[in-house]
Amino acid sequence: MKQIMLIIILSCLGYLVFAQDNMYSKKYIKEISDRVSNYQANHLSRFSNDNWVRGTYYSGVMAVYQSTRDNNYLEKCIYWGNEMKWQVPNAESGIYGSSFYSLIRGQIWMECYFEKGDPKMLESSINYLADPSVINPVSDPLKWYYENSGLRYIDGLYTSPPALAMLNKITGEEKYLDWMDACFWDIYGALFDKDAGLFYRDTRYMKGYQGIIEERYIRPDSIPHGEARTTYIYQETKNGKKVLWSRGNGWAFGGLTRILKYMPSDHGNYERYKALYIIMATELKERQQLDGFWRPNLDDPLDYNLKESSGTSFFTYGIAWGINNGILSREEFLPVVKKSWAAVVSVVSEEGKVQWGQLSAGAPYKVIQDDSHEYVTGMFLLAASEMYKLGN
Residues labelled catalytic: 155
10 Å Cβ neighbour count for 230?
15
Would you state the torsion angle of the CA atoms of residues 382, 386, 391, 392, taken in this order, to the nearest 10 degrees? -100
- Give, as one character, the DSSP assignment of residue 351: T
Q: Could you tell me where the beta strands, DSSP code E, fall in 121-243?
A: 192-193, 198-199
- Give, as one character, the DSSP assignment of residue 334: H
Q: How many residues does the chain have?
A: 392
The number of angstroms, rounded, from the C-alpha of 42 to the middle of its chain's C-alpha atoms is 22
10 Å Cβ neighbour count for 103?
29
Distance from C-alpha of 64 to C-alpha of 69, rounded to nearest angstrom: 8
Distance from C-alpha of 289 to C-alpha of 318, rounded to nearest angstrom: 17
**Residue 26 Cα distances to 33, 67, 87, 354, angstroms:** 10, 10, 35, 19
